[in-house]
Amino acid sequence: MQTLSHPETPHGREGHHFVRFYDDEDLLADEIAQHLLAALAQQGSAILIATPVRVAAVLPRLPGTTPGCLARLVVRDAADTLAAICVDGWPDDARFDAVVGALVRSARATGAPLHAYGEMVALLCADGRFEAAVRLEQLWNALAGQTTFSLFCAYPWSLFPTVELANSFAAICQAHTHACSQKQPAAGTVSRPDQFRLLELERKALALDGEVRRRRDAERLAAASEADLADFLDNAAEGIHRVGADGTILWANKAELALLGYRWEEYVGRHIAEFHVDAHVIDHILATLQKGETVYDQPARLRCKDGGIRHVLIHSNARFENGELRYTRCFTRDATERHERDALLATLTEANRNKDQFLAMLGHELRNPLSPILLALEMMELRGDSATTERQLIRRQVDHLVRLVDDLLDIARVTQGKVVLRRARVPVSEVIDKAVELAAAEISAHAHQLTLTVDPALVVFGDAVRLAQVLANLLINAARYTPRQGRIRLHAARDAAGQVRIGVTDNGRGMTAAELRQAFDLFYQGARGIDRAEGGLGVGLALARRLVELHEGRIDAFSAGPGQGCEVVVRLPAFDAAAGAPPAVAANDAPVGGSGLAILLVDDNEDAVRMLGMLLTQHGHKVDVCFDPHTALARIDAFRPDVAVLDIGLPLMSGHELAQRLRAMPGGERCRMIALSGYGQPEDLARSRAAGFEAHLVKPVMPERLLSLLTREQAVR
């Protein structure tokens, strides 16, 4: 064992409290062992309050003393003892006396020497509680004033790594009768003040050495971090560049150069505006950055070396010092695919809009020739023509054509969001009755058997006309895709979730899994033979789905496969009488009409307006037919009409303007106005009302509808 010299060794007087600052664990263990053995060898006692690691280092160094001396050695765990004497991390006087004081007094009961080593203060300092460590040293000193013993404390130099701990270090030194380090002179060679000065100088030297090491380590880490950052930026997948306050490119990474195809010297050092296609864009970016604002997702077009143009998105912010712009940091993201995708989306959106407009216009234009055909049929029936079979055939085909046109117009309105539901409390049985009426001709033509099973208590809150249209489409589809003399069943009841479930089932040709997935797509018709026996445009189911969704419902199709028939199920929320419902939207048509009236007809479709004039004349009305608005205005004084039926889409002057001018003429205030149009959306009806029309009829004009209006008008005159 190495012999160490320290001030006032245990072989000297008792009542000594000294501290050793160390950095060599083995030397410290030797010194602790010598300190304890000095008391044990004199038949005294020893106390070792240390960590398990310290105890394990010291105990092997103690054997070799007189037999039985180790029985006078008391060992305590430093952490457990510290916990027993502290309250909220602070040494408590009473607890210290009850634990440590009792231990010391017991060991001194024989009067023999007592040497102790305590490591609790080092644990406090290791936890950053230097003031608590000084307080514990003071408690040891107070205990030494009550009974005599020699106390050895030790602190590793690593607990005082910075110059900022000078005050704590000095306070710890002042709490001891002697303080030294493993490098200090032997005991008695220097005075106590000199001891402290030497220790402080050593502490400062160690702290400075540590600071130098930390600074060097920090510099190495900073250099490594800077290299990592430079590598990260230079090899990042996104284009990055730095631009000076004057707009000069100061640096660019590989991705930026590769994006545009330039070499470093062709890009860096030049003004950023040289690479922007749109001057106003780069001017906006630079102005925004000059104001200290950040640029996010700024679309821009950059010139490539090969002459091409690259669409990009730019993110950029600025670095300011003392209020002046130093440089800007810019991220350039290739947006070519996004630009192409957006352009394609815009093209498709425009094409879809054009398609919707085309369908609407097609439906409108098809209505014009239908009007005279319907009127001609009406005239033939009034005259009692003998060709009954031919008339009925024409009537069926015209009705079919009208339904096709209506479907085209409806799907265009739905896809454009122009359908407004007129919702009210509706018994489901009434909707089904109307749907069956609409589909009866198709079902009868195929000689199908229709079975209805309907719960009469079912009620929904919806548009009765639109719901009947949905179910009629389902019945017509079932009729068309089921071989002659097939079976169709319509079943309506509440399902397990309390919703209204309406199912239309047939034993027709069924659908494959692929057909089921596409059944509700617009214009989809599935596999058809060359004869297209089923007919239709592939609009019915698509329209049905959209109308059901507008009613907060859903529609699904089911089939076991080809030849296994099909079921289409509509689910709608049941009407909740307790919750109530908004009032139904009132109809827009105002009742007018009668017989024996003077009626002015204005329409540029000559066939249609002539046939309408002939029909009204046969019903006893006096009719004046005009093909343009100026002729109508010229005849108004002489004719003085009771009712004016005006086409809205007139040449030179719209029907709205013509109505207003007719109203302003003498006697015009008493004339009832009826609008004719191929458009019948709420906004169309609203414009007609604003122009002074009492009613708005949609082409092709159903004769019974117009005659009914005129009859009521005659009744009020």
Average pLDDT per 10 consecutive residues for the chain, totaling 717 residues: 40 67 91 92 92 94 65 92 94 95 91 93 94 94 92 91 83 86 57 69 70 78 76 80 92 90 93 93 92 91 92 92 91 82 72 63 62 67 63 62 62 63 89 92 91 93 90 90 93 92 92 83 56 52 85 91 92 74 39 63 83 81 88 83 89 88 82 84 84 86 80 74
- CA atoms of 220 and 224, how far apart (whole Å): 6
Closest CA relative to residue 599, chosen from 629, 632, 630:
632
| Greatest extent of the chain over all pairs of C-alpha atoms, in Å | 150
Q: Which residue is associated with the tokens 């059901």? A: 548
Q: Which residue is associated with the tokens 């097609």? A: 362
CB 5 within 8 A of CB 187: yes
Give me the pLDDT at residue 9, please: 42
Closest CA relative to residue 645, chosen from 715, 710, 589:
710
- CA atoms of 81 and 120, how far apart (whole Å): 8
Give me the pLDDT at residue 379, please: 67
Give me the pLDDT at residue 10, please: 37
DSSP-assigned beta bridge partners for residue 116 = 47, 151
Give me the pLDDT at residue 431, please: 93
For 65, left (φ over 0), alpha (ψ -120 to 50), or beta?
Answer: beta
Closest CA relative to residue 611, chosen from 382, 363, 361:
382
How do the residues of the chain divide into helix, strand and coil, expressed in percent and rounded to 5?
A: 50, 20, 30
Determine how β-strand 150-156 pairs with β-strand 566-572: unpaired
- CA atoms of 415 and 354, how far apart (whole Å): 12
Exposure class string for 13-49: b at 16+ Cβ within 10 A, else e: ebebbbbbbbeeeeebbbbbbbbbbbbbeeebbbbbb
Give me the pLDDT at residue 591, please: 34
Sign, CA torsion 170/175/180/181: negative
- CA atoms of 662 and 660, how far apart (whole Å): 5
- CA atoms of 173 and 7, how far apart (whole Å): 14
For 155, left (φ over 0), alpha (ψ -120 to 50), or beta?
Answer: beta
DSSP state of 293: P
Cβ neighbours around 701 below 10 Å, total? 22
Determine how β-strand 598-602 pairs with β-strand 643-647: parallel
DSSP-assigned beta bridge partners for residue 76 = 49
For 188, left (φ over 0), alpha (ψ -120 to 50), or beta?
Answer: left
- CA atoms of 42 and 275, how far apart (whole Å): 93
Residue at 302: amino acid letter? L
Give me the pLDDT at residue 494, please: 93
Q: How does DSSP assign 131-176, residue by residue?
A: HHHHHHHHHHHHHHTTS--EEEEEEEGGG--SGGGHHHHHHHHHTS
Q: Which phi and psi (to 5°) does residue 138 adopt? A: -65, -35
